[in-house]
Amino acid sequence: MRLVQRLLISHALLTAVLLGAAAFAVVALVRMTSLLTEIREEHLGKVQEEEAVHQATWGIEVAARHAILRCERDPAVGPAIADSMKAPLHQLETLLARHGEAIQPSIRNTAEHYRDYARYVIEENTCARLFDPAMREKRLSWDENLTDAWIAIVHSLHKVVLQREAEAYGIGATAISVGLVFGVLAVFAAWGVARWMARGVTQPLELLSRQAQQVGQGNSKSIAQVGGPIEVQELAAELQRTHARLAEIDQLKDAFVASVSHDLRTPLTRLRAALGLLADGTIGPLNEQQRRVVELARSACEREIRVVSALLDMSRVKSGKVLRREAGCLLDDVLLRAMEDMRSEAEAAGVRLELEKEGALSPASLDAALIERAVANLLGNAIRVSSRGKRVRIVRTITQEGPPGHAASGTCWARVVVRDEGPGVRPEVRNRLFEHFFTSPVGNSTSPGIGLGLPLAREMMRAHGGEVVLLDEPGPGAAFAVWIPLDRPTSPRYSSEAIPAAPPPDRSLA
């Protein structure tokens, strides 16, 4: 599924929840509006009609009261009073004819009594009929009925309004409750969509980012398959192709380095032999100035031989070739040979080399040349960063605890710690110490090397099933620990079969 489809689904889900909440709110508003419309059109409209009839009826009552007062002052005004009562009588007759069947019976009946009364009064003898005690008593009863009927109408209207108000409050409360439910659903939906997007997009991208960093750091592991949108999978496929291409280039580089190093080894060996003959005076005596030039040439030649040897060892280890094990090899002898290899460089730098051994060692099946080269690389780094008068110590111990990250398996380990008294390792370069060809000036050192000593030492130890790590210990200087399994098979890339002891190799080239 493409990323745009995931985004459409996630937005559609949230939009559906919001539309549901909006739709329910609209329905609630429509219902509340219909209640208001019902009150206005049905109840208020009917009350207005009844109010008009009530006012017209009350108009006849008021006209009758005024007429009685006038008749009391002048009994001869009867015809004039009759004419004055015709207008309210006509208004009442019109309203009864228009709304008579729609209004309440109590109002209608009382209005009809007043209508008949007005007709009776204006027919003849207006003042006499107004003073009729029986008619005045009826008018009093009608007045009470009219007042009671209007009070009943107002009370009924109030009751209807309260009922509709309660219904409106109920609708509003329901709308609020449903809105809260939709709000909670929206929150959970947003959380679920975010989690789904994180799993489907963010996590594959994070995995891809870590693998890209590993590719940038030269990690040879293959790119793991990632899920997520098609765009992310296409990016992973492109990274896989890039990784494969880099692996091909790396193989070509290793092959080129191995070929060049091998081709340089023979002429360098001959050059060293020739310089040795010159220095020994075999082909003639040398004066002091010539001897010094020859020593400088021999030192430069030895340095180049070590570089070529390191390149050859790196090619050998990375190619996964069979370890050349020696049965009955003593690790302490290997450490002594590594110290002898670096003795001249230590003396030139004014640094003392010390070896401390704790615990007795039994002969083991080891590739002495690789272990010697690994320890020599660590010694070379320690000597290079040390000032004159300082010392570099090698401490060999026996332990049942393996290197960090290795599960306890009852294996017996030899732990070799190379500790110097230099300025130590800066925090910003600790994570890059074991990268191939990474160099960083340390202290007063003017020649940081070619960046192969530490990574090559680690590769050699891992070939034996061991490890090289930088110890995080307080105090001046740096300490590198080498773990060598004494009764454990080597890495699966290498053969674990020991071969008989062979003559010591040419350590000047190893």
Question: For residue 427, what is the DSSP state?
Answer: G
Extract the tokens encoding 495: 């053969």
Distance CA 185, CA 188 (A): 5
In this predicted structure, the answer to whether residue 237 has a pLDDT above a threshold of 50 is yes
DSSP 139-157: HHHHHHHHHHHHHHHHHHH
Instruction: Quote the tokens at residue 172.
Output: 């509003």
Cα distance between residue 2 and residue 11, in whole Å: 14
At 508 the pLDDT is 33
Per residue in 252-303, pLDDT tens? 776 776 677 667 777 888 888 888 888 777 777 888 888 888 888 877 887 7
Tell me the C-alpha distance between 376 and 337, whole Å: 9
pLDDT per residue over 94-105, tens digit each? Answer: 988 888 777 888
Domains parsed from the chain with CATH numbers: 3-191 (1.20.120), 229-319 (1.10.287.130), 322-510 (3.30.565.10)
Confidence of residue 490 (pLDDT cuts 50, 70, 90): low
What's the rounded mean pLDDT across residues 323-349?
Answer: 85
Question: Which pLDDT does position 393 carry in this prediction?
Answer: 92
Span 473-500, average pLDDT = 66
Backbone angles phi, psi at 354, to 5 degrees: -130, 145
438 band by pLDDT with thresholds 50, 70 and 90: confident
Which tokens is 276 given?
A: 């040795």
Closest listed residue to residue 81, CA positions, set 60, 97, 100, 101? 60
Indicate if the pLDDT at residue 59 is higher than 80: yes
